[in-house]
Amino acid sequence: MGILVPEEYGGAEADYLSYALAIEELARVDAGTAVTVSVHSMICSAILKLGTKEQKEHWLPLLASRDVLAGFALTESDAGSDAVALRATARPSSGGYTLNGRKQWCSTGSYAGVIMGMFRTGGPGARGVSAFLFEPNLPGVTIERVTEKLGIHTSNTCDLAFDDVRVGREALLGEEGAGFGNAMTALTAGRIGIAAQAIGILAACLDESVKFAKERIAFGKPIGAFEGVSFKIAQMAMDLDAARMLTYRAAALADAGEPFAIPASKAKLFASTAARKHAGEALQIHGGYGYTTEFAVERHYRDAKITEIYEGTSEIQQIIIARSLLGRLE
């Protein structure tokens, strides 16, 4: 859990490439566990980049030791891809701020010991948003519901209500009014994690497909002998390698201190698309067996889709990539 945290705070002080490899291997077995670690690591990274000395010394040892899980609260009912439209507020009050509003789809929200949340401290637009770190057991914080999802069942997702929640000034993460940029910084790093999660799902689909294609007999031979199956597996293996190269490149750029936002978007877009596509092909290779819960491919099929949605949809990634080449043409 402290893979990106420096040793001085009790972490492993590993690099982003190591982080991507760890998320990939976790997702190969269970995608929900992988995204829990990914979100946790994303917030550790945000605290390292944006936190005060006191915030780092307080939170990072707890997060690195596994004693505390980190949750993330950005999305609202009318603020998803258009995150700057968020309405939850943080109003100045004696010695700090008072938080009010509702947040949807908070990752690890039911179990988190600290939450990174985005609230409006100023007027409309990105410059009116600030980031906060706070404990979710504060008076006025309520878990309104736990969200039932298609997949990643081992990852907790909930809606949180904030009713006159008092936090001190030390809860502010980064500068006031810089929260939207801080959120985007965190999400950019997180996209490496989601790309790696998608790779792990895809790798599991390849593992299961190869195994089944060798063992399942039809028309007197293993089904892997037929081009209708073997070509699917060949394409799966090729896209897995391509997804890995894109993701490892983004991680290597992050480690080198080079700009990596666009490579991270490309990696997430390609890896998530490939995971969703080939999870369907893996299920098809398994035939009727793949549609049952006796085989893991039905779980991979359900888990893969979310990688195209959270931490920036595929459509948002395409906008980011296109604007890097064309600029804003409005």
Confidence of residue 178 (pLDDT cuts 50, 70, 90): confident
- The third-level CATH classification (topology) of the domain covering 181-326 is Butyryl-CoA Dehydrogenase, subunit A; domain 3 (1.20.140)
State pLDDT tens for residues 215-266: 999 999 999 999 999 999 999 999 999 999 999 999 999 999 999 999 999 9
Q: 201 pLDDT band (50/70/90 cuts)?
A: very high
Superfamily of segment(s) 7-64: Acyl-CoA dehydrogenase/oxidase, N-terminal domain (1.10.540.10)
The whole model's pTM is what? Answer: 0.95
Helices first, then strands: H and E counts in the chain:
8, 10
pLDDT tens digits for range 274-299: 999 999 999 999 999 999 999 999 99
**CATH code for the structural domain at 70-176:** 2.40.110.10
Q: What is the mean pLDDT of residues 136-162?
A: 97
Domain limits, the chain? 7-64, 70-176, 181-326
Let me know if the fold of 7-64 is the same as that of 181-326. Answer: no
Catalogue the active-site residues. Answer: 311
